[in-house]
Copies of this chain bind each other. A is one copy, B any other.
Amino acid sequence: MARIFTVDDLRDRLQARQHKMTPQRQMILQVFIERPGEHLSAEEVQGILRDNFDSFGMATVYRNIELLTDLELLQKIDLGDGKARYELNTKEPTSHNHHHLICIACGKISEFNDDLLDGLERSIFEKCGFEVTDHQVKFFGYCQECREAGYGAENDDAD
């Protein structure tokens, strides 16, 4: 069970760095808390917030998303679509070992947990002397629903 961050965590971590708690920061975190499993871009976050509130500057979104990432409440992910995306971090350090499965038919993003990479990283160190501190892994392909709907490797020519 992945325990999730709350607004209290936000307040604590802001104080620890002499940053101020603002409604904007709270609302941005709230957007992610209310949407577990989603991978939102800055633009999407602003879209959600501007629907509910009058003016919500893009710069504020960018600045605070970055801040929340620094505070390790969010995690930045690059799905290769040209814009940065973010998801709520979990309190478990194992969240590091979840990889993204990106469906090239419908765009849906799912996740896969695994620690196979630990072995790979050890063997990288042994063979190359390269000490891995972080990794980024993305798998592209067809999700179950799209495969059942006729997409997939065997139908790949059905462009």
Number of copies of this kind of chain in the complex: 2
A139 near B147 with CB under 8 A, answer: no
- B144 lies within 8 A of A129 (CB): yes
Of B80, B124, B152, the residue contacting A131 (CB under 8 A) is: B152
> Are A141 and B136 neighbours in the complex by a CB distance under 8 Å?
no
Cβ of A138 under 8 Å from chain B: yes
A119 CB-CB contact with B under 8 Å:
yes
Q: Range of interface residues on chain A?
A: 35 or more
Question: Are A143 and B129 neighbours in the complex by a CB distance under 8 Å?
Answer: yes
Chain B residues within 8 Å of A131, by CB? 141-142, 147, 152-153
Complex Cα–Cα for A3 and B123 (A): 26
- B143 in contact with A132 (CB, 8 Å): no
Contacts A112-B124, A120-B116, A124-B101 hold; do A135 and B139 have CB atoms under 8 A apart? yes
